[in-house]
Chains A and B, each alone.
Chain A
Amino acid sequence: MANLRSKSNTPLFWILMLFLLLITLFPVYWIVVTSLKTPLEVVLPHPTFFPKTFTFQNYQAVLQSGFLGNMRTSLIVSISSTLISLVLSFCAAYALSRFQFPWMFNTLFLVWILLVKILPPVVLAIPLYTMFNSLGLINKIHGLVLVYQVYTLPYCIWMLFGFLKALPLMYEEAAQMDGAGKMATFAYIVLPMMRTGLVATSIFSVITAWDEFLFGLLFIRTPSLRTLPLVIADYIGEYETLWGNLMSIGMITALPILLFSHFVYSYYTKGFAMGDK
């Protein structure tokens, strides 16, 4: 506010800012630096703030450990679960926002999927495991994609529902008056106007699936099919001192999202402003 705004050019403000950035970014700096240290330097009792010798050997070791297969699983799973969710949720959200189903179905459905979002996923995990087990979907990539719909579908429906509610109806009315059918209005009028909403929604859906841990832990048994968070958890648990490798996997996992941070940030504020309505 006014008081602070006038302060914003004083040295004190910038010292505070530097301090905040230090706390926020130090762990990120630490992961970068540690991933570039030699395995010996990592386990020194006196941690070094800067690598004595730069090395990419951690990255090399990680790439040779079959890690690319895990990366591929992660990519396939997060992209395909997002695509499925996006198509299904866009249709569902459109129907929910434009049509009143009988017996208060709209409210019931939206409240139910909100409850699913609130529910700890571990509660659903046991019956889902039994179900998937009897269908032979355990330890399969498509099984994982399917079960991720539990997270991504409710999320996408709510978010797109918010965007669709905010879209003025007059374009659709005009199209209908010009004789366009429901299908044509949906495909040629609504879909192009929802581009921002769809991009914002898909970003968060991809991040959710990329970061998911619990279902991956339960539904995947073969090491080569594991997603990146599972590989990281393995490293944390089993190879206590291979920190260099651990940090390079962390870096590779975090990099795609950090590179788009600016993009994510602008969509985040936008998405939330819309999704909450």
Chain B
Amino acid sequence: MHFRRNSFYYFLIAPSLLLMLWLTVYPVLNVLMLSFFDYNYIADVRLFIGFDNFKQIVSSKLFQDSFFNTLIFSLVATLFEVGLGLLLALVFDGEFFKKKQFMTLMIFPMMLSTMVVSAIFKTLYHQDIGLFNYLLTQLGLQPVGWLINPSCALSSIILVDIWQWTPFAFILLQASLQSIPQEIFEAARIDGTRYPQIVMRITIPILFGQIMLVAMLRTIDTFKLFGKVYALTQGGPGNATETLSTFIYREGFLISILGVLQRLLC
């Protein structure tokens, strides 16, 4: 009875539900299940081994490096993007000449696709003919091995992410800043509160929820880091920029493809 009366809604949800079951639920369950087996792709044999895979992975040096790189990347990039985004939002507060046009220009970086951004920075970072090193030498400084020096490759990628995604934090925080009633600030000003105090005691506490939301969105996104590393360093030099995603890509995917290929050939 319930179903017949509301069959319309079941009919509406069915296609999405089926597609999501097939494209996401099944693969996730598959990954979970396989993680407890020793799966020989070449022979297509499965052997239950409990948590051994996890132990093995966690103790591998490459995994540890990838994990820490991802963690550092995610934390530092999020911190800078949210911090700078908030500062920008404060600068762009209030009304001024051609504000909307300026804001549109400010969000250009986040609208470029990651590969385009990587391409630009690959040329700027180039050791010998890149612009950054040229400017450094013009200033009488030593050139930097942006992407080829293990100790600064990760920072260089972080810098790219900060350039690309600070605008995201900026426009979201700017929008919430605009929605705060102006009376609050006027009252504070009449009471003689100085600007830094207004920011620290009024603006940031009011925006706290939004700041946390933006930080969460950026943390989630930075944790998936793959494209920039693939394009800029391929995880190198050494393992200096290997991330969890590139690690999974390398270990899981390339190896399983090889397995499939080998099975086809044999």
Name A residues whose Cβ lies closer than 8 Å to a Cβ of B.
1-5, 8-9, 13, 16-17, 20-21, 23-25, 27-28, 30-31, 34, 42-47, 88-89, 91-92, 94-96, 98-99, 101-102, 109, 112-113, 116-131, 133, 146-147, 149-150, 153-154, 157, 182-183, 186, 207, 210-211, 213-214, 217-218, 228-230, 232-233, 235-237, 243, 246-247, 249-250, 253-254, 257-258, 261-262, 264-265, 268-269, 272-273, 276
List B residues 213-259 near A (Cβ within 8 Å): 213, 220, 223-224, 226-227, 230-232, 234, 244-245, 248-249, 252-253, 256-257
Which of B95, B103, B112, B227 is in CB contact (< 8 Å) with A214? B227
Which bracket fits the contact residues of B?
Answer: 35 or more
Distance (Å) between the CB of A70 and the closest chain B CB?
12
Q: Is the CB of B28 within 8 A of A24?
A: no
Interface mask (B13-53 → A, CB under 8 Å = 1, otherwise 0):
10111011001111110110010000000000000000000
| B104: contacting residue among A154, A246, A262, CB under 8 A | A262
Interface majority SS on B: helix, strand, loop or mixed?
helix
Could you tell me the distance in whole angstroms from the C-beta of B118 to the nearest C-beta in chain A?
7
Cβ contact of B106, chosen from A20, A47, A211, cutoff 8 A: A20
Chain A, residue nearest B219 (CB): A118
Which residues 103-154 of B have a CB within 8 angstroms of A? Answer: 103-109, 111-124, 128-131, 134
Would you give the shortest CB distance from B90 to chain A, in whole angstroms? 7
Do B129 and A45 have beta carbons less than 8 Å apart?
A: yes
Contact with B119, one of A2, A186, A247 (Cβ below 8 angstroms): A247
Contact A236 B231 (CB under 8 A): yes
Is the pair B109, A210 in contact by a Cβ cutoff of 8 Å? no
The closest CB in chain B to the CB of A92 belongs to: B16
The 8 closest A-B pairs by CB, nearest first: A5-B94, A92-B16, A127-B27, A211-B113, A3-B195, A229-B115, A95-B12, A99-B9
Question: Complex formed: what's the CA distance from A254 to B112 in Å?
Answer: 6
Per the bound structure, the CA–CA distance linking A153 and B118 in Å amounts to 27
Determine the chain A residues whose CB is within 8 A of the CB of B158 once the complex forms. none
Contacting residue for A30 out of B103, B106, B123, CB 8 A: B123
Say yes or no for B67: interface residue by CB 8 A criterion. Answer: no
User: Are B128 and A45 in contact, CB atoms less than 8 angstroms apart?
Assistant: yes
Verify A92–B24 contact, CB threshold 8 A: no
Main secondary structure of the interface of A (DSSP, over half): helix
Q: A182 vs B112: C-alpha distance in the bound complex, in angstroms?
A: 42
B212 at the interface (CB under 8 A from A): no
| B117–A27 touching, CB < 8 Å | yes
Q: How far is the CA of A1 from the CA of B122 in the complex (A)?
A: 39
Q: Which of B9, B108, B171 contacts A28 (CB 8 A)?
A: B108
Find chain A residues with CB under 8 A from B244 CB.
120
Query: Does B204 have its Cβ within 8 Å of any Cβ on chain A?
Result: no
Nearest A residue to B248 via CB reads A122
B123 touches A34 (CB 8 A): yes
List B contacts of A92 (CB < 8 A).
12-13, 15-17
A250 and B119 contact, Cβ closer than 8 Å, known pairs A3-B189, A122-B248: yes
